[in-house]
Structure 1
Amino acid sequence: MYHITPETAADHWEVEALYDTCFAPGREALSSYRLRDGVPPVAGLNHVARDAGGILAGAIRYWPICIGAHAALLLGPVAVHPTRQGEGLGALLIEGSLAQAAPLGWSRVMLVGDAPYYNRFGFTLLTDVVMPPPTNPERVLGRALVDGAWEGIAGDVTAWPH
């Protein structure tokens, strides 16, 4: 059983250590990190999952981005500690946070990830959305949080104005 709560400032370094454990060295060199530079994550959508002993087992974050003149959420990173993978915690974090996004006024979310994993959460390939290089276009996925949210959305992904 996990207790999922909003991420707080006190969780920051522990979450960063989890991301370091789960992702390859140099993760912060990815183009998605350039979109996050100097931009605070979206309040109310970033969560941590802790076990009964208070040990961090997973985390998820969201960032605001622009696609052309349109706002969108960038999901990620999402991580589950390697000793906790396969328990459904990633799905719990993703589904729970996505359910909270539309009531906060967000209509679309995108990510860079593996389609076979994220398809089950309703993410599909965004052929008209261009992430900064070096991003594999086959990994640029999106999900509408309200009907029709991706219709007519195309162009370059850029950082949220700050």
Structure 2
Amino acid sequence: MTALRKTTNALTSQAASVAIRSERASDVAAREALLDACFGDDRHMRTCQRLRDGRTPAEGLAFSAVSGGRLVGTLRLWHVSAGGIPALMLGPLAVEASSRRLGAGAALMDHALAAAKARGHRAVILLGDAPYYARFGFSAAKTGGLSLPGVFERDRLLGLELSEGALDGAWGMIVPTGARLPKIRAARARKAKAVLVPRVA
């Protein structure tokens, strides 16, 4: 993991055309369109979405990758309890196809993990491809006793300790603990989901 950047913007080492900054309200439409493009219409039905529904991201830990004045990547972290151990859940990480070769995904990861550590968080968990996330220090070494509220592949549940021993003895269900969205925003989110996702009998 790279050292914490002291400025709001962080440039990737591979391309100065991509900058990482804190997410803004004006990013919402572009972020949602990017997530739809990367994960499909059923993304609201995925297991990890149950940990995000009706919640706000962890304070100061929602980031956008921007290139040429437009959003090309997004990453957010969320408060969870990992079997009673305070942790962050990372995701979703999404980068538009044309910006992946610029290292936008790696830049988002490095920036987010450094920011999380600087804010005193001790562990991060995610559901993703082990070969990709291993480069950032994630592994399944201490997540074998943890579960998610839905179907998931065991070898894709990965953890990273920002403080040594933070996930020692982690066992049980991962549940959301972050602040709830204001009722009006939560209702709008449910309404939007109802339009996007057909009901199943």
Identity %: 39
State the structure with more CA Rg.
2
How many Å separate the matches in 2 of 1:116 and 1:3? 25
TM-score, length-normalised on structure 1? 0.94
CA displacement at 1:112 relative to structure 2:
0.3
Of 150, 162, 177, 1:133 maps to: 150
How many Å separate the matches in 2 of 1:120 and 1:24? 26
Unaligned 5+ residue runs, structure 2? 1-16, 181-201
The answer as to whether partners of 2:85 and 2:167 remain within 8 angstroms in 1 is: no
CA displacement at 1:25 relative to structure 2:
2.4
Of 73, 76, 81, 2:88 maps to: 73
Alignment of 1:1-162 (within 5 A): 1-51=17-67, 53-125=68-140, 126-160=143-177, 162=180
How many Å separate the matches in 2 of 1:69 and 1:104? 20
Deviations 1:23-78 (A, max 9, x none): 13201101111111111001211111111x20211111111111122211000001
Helix, strand or coil at the partner of 1:62? strand
TM-score, length-normalised on structure 2? 0.77
Q: One-letter code of the match for 1:57?
A: V
Q: One-letter code of the match for 1:8?
A: R
How many Å separate the matches in 2 of 1:144 and 1:154? 15
Root-mean-square deviation over aligned CA pairs: 1.2
How many Å separate the matches in 2 of 1:50 and 1:40? 22
Runs of 4+ in 1 over 2 A off after TM superposition: none
